[in-house]
Structure 1
Amino acid sequence: MFEGFYTTSLVAPFVCAILVSCAYKRYTSLMARARYPPGPPRLPIIGSLLHVPNRHTWLAYERMGKDLGDDLVHLDVLGSHIIVVNSAKAATELFEKRGAIYSDRPSYTMLIDLLGFDWALVFSRYGDRFRALRKGFHPYLSPDAVIEYRPLESKSVHRLLRSLMEKPENFVASLRHMAGAIILAIAFGIEVKSEGDPHVETAEKGLGAVLLGTMPQAAMYDFFPILKNMPSWFPGAELNARTKEARHASTAMLEDPMQVTKKAMAEGKVSPSVASALLTRLEDQSATEQDRALTYVFMVLGGADTTVCALEDFFLAMTLNPDAQRKAQAEIDLVVGHERLPDWNDRQSLPYVDALVNEVLRWRNVTPTAVYHRLMVDDVYNDYFLPAGATVIPNVWYGAILHDESVYADPLSFKPERFLDPRLDKPEAAFGFGRRICPGMHLALESVWIAVVSILASFDISKTVNEKGDEIDPVDDYVDGLVAYPFPFECNIKPRSEATVKLIQLTDLED
């Protein structure tokens, strides 16, 4: 018996060595045969620099993929590699199945070094700190946890309806106020003022700084880090002047609401919130743990940007697609009636409204190129060599993932009924991929749904008209940046009836 064991113990390492050797030889063989994915023409020294888009990057990368006939596009910019992923198949393989090596973030020189967003988990490097913070966030943003926030969301939406009724021309400002109110209450226990709340304004300025740091022009700072030390008149460094004021916004966004929570706790007047719960648990811990609490709550705050953008897209969709609006309103009238506003108990009975929300997220998704990933080690995909350190961009926009014609027939059209087909998955790609998928996804979806169903039940949204009575088509274009907000547009927002007006007024008073 022992002789056999002895023989096995000697043979096993040799067998393992042979298997490892064979696997290594196969890997090196693949690497030797592999080549970079196709890309635009390169010039000496600067490589593909002239092909890096400075506007509507998602459309430019889509065109590159179609012209090259491949779902991966490679750009070499001064020796820095960019890989654009233009298909759901490739995105699933790289970001989901190989998430362990594709979950890092690039340097983001503008955001981190100039604007001071090193505290924001969404832009942080992948590693032990990221995993610990992500795990700590789960109790507050899981599908079950976000149900507890529904009364707060409903209250904020009812106030939104009142604002839309009184000042319909200011609908974007009203959306921002509603989203800020929800996030600040959940994160810090802060109840905001009905108008001009300083905490909402601080958050808006901070989110504006994020948009500045993710403009296409900001990518130049990654290719030429020396630009951050140059005067603003230096070619390519024009954003430097704007970053000085924006950095103050980043700091205030981080610190101001937390100080309000700490003061309320010291005075025994604190309202339940993520921040107060974390600070209570960590009050005897180190400064590093305090920083963890700050990171948690501001990861929630980023959800405000996603919610506002999605709801602006909803107003644009309803303005351009009155038939879809009428179908949704007919369903709400049948299920809810006219004597109350919709609530969460109605959701299962409103499949078309659910489909409409999904179509909003697909049709004009909020982050068309998501937050960029960084490949941590050399890899091979479809015989293509993908180098370590490459910035990997998921193009979830036109013709790529959420506008793939093979999945979504007539993808540029707004057709909620497509999501009534149970075989069609929900557009979760709108929230990112794999280990970097947005942890606030469930909260954002809840906020968007209750806002959409309440607005549809209460208002008719249509095109504005000129002095001749002719309809004015709204601008259908988008701001460049991490979050693709629609360009400002006008629409007509009117209560559906006098009964609706009274219902909104009564509900707002009850809140």
Structure 2
Amino acid sequence: MSLTILDILLGAVGVLLLHLIVSRNKTKLPLPPGPKGLPILGNVIDMPTSHEWLKFIDWSKKWGTLLTVSTLLCYADNALSGDIVSVTLLGQTIVILGSATHAVELLEKRSSNYSDRPKLIMGGEIVGWDQTLALTPYSERFREYRRFFHRFIGNRTNTMRFHPLVEKEMHNFLRRLQRAPDELAKHIRHTAGTIILTMSHGYKVHEESDSYLELVTVAIDQFTASTSPGAFLVDVLPALRYVPKWFPGAGFQKTADIWRKNLTDMTEIPFKFVQEQMRAGTVIPNFTSGLLESEKLDAQKVHNIKWSAASLYSGGADTTVSAIYGFFLAMTLFPEAQREAQAEIDAVIGQGRLPTLEDRDKLPYVEALIKEVLRFNPVAPLVMIRKFLHDPAVYEDPMIFKPSRYLASEGKQPEQDPKVWCFGFGRRVCPGQYLADVSVWLSCAMTLAAFDISHVVENGKVVEVENAYLSGTISHPKPFRCALKPRSSKAEALILAADEYRDS
């Protein structure tokens, strides 16, 4: 029996009403305070459509302090009080944690209760990102993904075997910067993608243009668009997913078809490449081939290997790109910190070679500078990490870029290491944090040794740069321009010597 338009609309309304009736009839514990919503709609019209974390921070400041211990005792314990806000969207409750203390208490100490993911209809269920680790609900599949990652890069020891790969690609990164400094963002993404695709699928990215890397880039951009709060009405009214594509206002269905195909291609094409290489005996050992060889395979296992590999390179590439791009923005805006880091490199290493990971412990200011880059503009601000990392009770003058805050001095202890929080919490902590840490450090340290980063000057005028970030689950700096110049003839020789790493 075919459905008419009226049937579909009545069905959607019926589902909504049933949801509201059931929600209202449930016995609910008191919720934390928050902005007063409208009947039925709740706080739908209050939700921002971009830079959501800024509104969440405002709500936390306004409403979080009103939460009393007696209210909180109704649903938690007295270890938590204040700085928690709740809003509702058509009966669905969102609780916003406004302090790192609460995040640790709930997301780490009670991670068995708070490791799930909300259902995102457009990006998750319709487009298909709920098959990747980012949106996979807490389940056996989620635990298997994490087991795969832990075995591959789950600790510093496992990650060390990839240090030569990262170092080689960072040398190549310097060469690209020297040849085409105006294409900074492209070079950062190319380098991160090369490292991740080599590790995940044993695939060598082509130097100029690469179809696999383009697949990843397009799909990641579409992930951000499909998961943005308030971007699609179907996330608020899930029954709309059953509206046919030809129905007026159902353009999201056609968009979803395109995005779903791109996501499928991003997952399937590299996976098939690994299978072909394995059959030919030419595979470069990688995450996917290792699992296919070591696991007892059935349909579900193959599915999990395929999608966990896609999660590895889609997630890892995007976060690392944001962090490294943020470093260049910070060095453009805060040249005094750049000069101090370069002075330390010159004093400890000299100008005859580039820094390596073996030098890391000898460069405390460089280490502090990179920590401050991660704190000042965290790559994942949506989960309130930005507020945690700008808490004046934890960081003195938190709105000032000050790497020295992490260095001990007479009568002063180093401030909180932002890496404790910026990689997430509990069972949802970033599984590639050790690889990301190494990649970001090498990129920043090598760049500081080789280049001066400054404002662009055109027609005698400085081109201003603003400390602005785009909206998204992973937030990237708003595109900006900076000037990159080798620090000296010796530095230029070191940069050009990166050519020898290209095909080694």
Q: TM-score range by the shorter chain?
A: 0.7 to 0.9
Q: Which of 174, 197, 200 lines up with 1:187 in the alignment? A: 200
Give 1:103-142 correspondences, 5 Å limit. Answer: 103-141=115-153, 142=155
Who is 2:50 aligned against?
Answer: 55
Amino acid of the structure 2 residue aligned with 1:443: L
Q: Which residue matches 2:281?
A: 268
Aligned length: 453
Q: Secondary structure at the match of 1:123?
A: coil
What is the distance in 1 between the residues matched to 2:147 and 2:182?
42
Alignment match, 2:321: 308
Q: Is the 8 A contact 2:371 2:417 kept in 1?
A: no
SS at match of 1:356: helix
- Residues 212-251 of structure 1 mapped to structure 2, 5 A cutoff: 212-218=225-231, 220-230=233-243, 239-251=252-264
CA displacement at 1:83 relative to structure 2: 0.7
Give the distance between the partners of 2:286 and 2:472, measured in 1 at CA: 31
Structure 1 residue aligned with 2:392: 405
Greater RCO, 1 or 2 (C-alpha within 8 Å, sep 6+): 1
Question: Shift in Å at residue 210 of structure 1?
Answer: 1.2
Distance 2:495 2:251 in 1: 47
1:159 to 150, 153, 172: 172
Change in Cα spacing, 1:219 to 1:103, as seen in structure 2 (3 Å) is farther
Equivalent residue, structure 2, for 1:461: 453
Is the alpha carbon distance of 1:238 and 1:332 closer, same or farther for their aligned partners in structure 2, counting shifts above 3 Å? Answer: farther
1:508 aligns to 2:499 (yes or no): yes
Cα 1:464–1:442 change in 2 (3 A) is: same
Counterparts of 1:324 and 1:423 in 2: how far apart (Å)?
Answer: 17
Runs (5+) with no aligned partner, structure 1: 1-31, 370-393
Q: Distance in 2 between matches of 1:368 and 1:219?
A: 21
Look up the match of 2:401.
414
Question: What secondary structure does 2:468 align onto?
Answer: coil
Matched residues in 2 for 1:437 and 1:234: separation?
Answer: 41
CA contact (8 A) 2:376 2:401 kept: yes
Map of 1:433 onto structure 2? 425
Q: 1:30-429 residue pairs with structure 2 within 5 A?
A: 35-70=30-65, 71-141=83-153, 142-218=155-231, 220-230=233-243, 239-282=252-295, 285-301=297-313, 302-369=315-382, 394-397=383-386, 400-421=387-408, 422=414, 424-429=416-421
Matched residues in 2 for 1:155 and 1:177: separation?
A: 13
Question: Structure 2 vs 1, CA of residues 46 and 235 (structure 1 numbering), >3 Å: closer, same or farther?
Answer: farther
- Whether the 8 Å contact between 1:258 and 1:275 is mirrored in structure 2 is yes
CA deviation string 1:189-232 (max 9, x = no partner): 11111111111111111211211122233464322113434478
Tell me, what secondary structure is at the counterpart of 2:94?
A: strand
Cα deviation, residue 240, structure 1: 4.2
Decide whether aligned partners of structure 1 residues 211 and 92 sit closer, same or farther in structure 2, where only a CA change above 3 A counts.
Answer: same
Q: Which amino acid aligns with 1:489?
A: F
2:113 & 2:442 partners in 1: Cα distance? 37
Q: Distance in 2 between matches of 1:450 and 1:312?
A: 13
Farther off after superposition, 183-192 or 133-142 = 133-142
Aligned to 1:451: 443
Q: Secondary structure at the match of 1:244?
A: helix
In 1, the alpha carbon distance for the partners of 2:401 and 2:122 equals: 36
Deviates more, 1:200-209 or 1:311-320: 200-209
Give me the whole-angstrom Cα distance separating, in 2, the residues matched to 1:352 and 1:219.
45
**1:472–1:237 Cα change, 3 Å:** farther
State the Cα distance separating 1:108 from its structure 2 match. 1.2
Q: Decide whether the 8 Å contact of 1:419 with 1:426 is kept in 2.
A: no
Given that residues 220 and 236 in structure 1 are in contact (C-alpha distance below 8 angstroms), is that contact kept between their aligned partners in structure 2?
no
Gaps of 5+ in 2: 1-26, 66-82, 409-413
Give the distance between the partners of 1:324 and 1:488, measured in 2 at CA: 22
Shift of 1:261: 1.1
416-425 or 437-446: which moved more? 416-425
Is 1:481–2:476 an aligned residue pair? no
How many Å apart are 1:443 and its aligned residue? 0.8
Indicate the SS of the match to 1:488. Answer: coil
How has the CA–CA distance of structure 1 residues 237 and 454 changed in structure 2, closer, same or farther, with 3 Å as cutoff?
farther
Amino acid at match of 2:481: E
Relative to structure 1, the CA distance from residue 91 to residue 325 in structure 2 (aligned partners, 3 Å threshold; closer, same or farther) is: same
TM-score of the superposed pair, with normalisation by structure 2: 0.86
Check conservation: 1:36, 1:74, Cα contact below 8 A: yes
Residues 158-197 of structure 1: CA distance to partner in whole angstroms, max 9, x if unpaired?
1110110010000000000000000011111111111111
Cα 1:473/1:238, change in 2 over 3 Å: farther
Distance 2:250 2:425 in 1: 32
Distance 1:479 1:232 in 2: 30
- The one-letter code of the counterpart of 2:401 is F
What letter corresponds to residue 486 of structure 1 in structure 2?
Answer: P
- Given that residues 80 and 223 in structure 1 are in contact (C-alpha distance below 8 angstroms), is that contact kept between their aligned partners in structure 2? no
Quick one: distance in 1 between partners of 2:471 and 2:363? Answer: 34
Structure 1 pair 233/46, CA: closer, same or farther in 2 (3 Å)? farther
Secondary structure (helix, strand or coil) at the match of 1:216 reads coil
Tell me, what secondary structure is at the counterpart of 1:36? coil
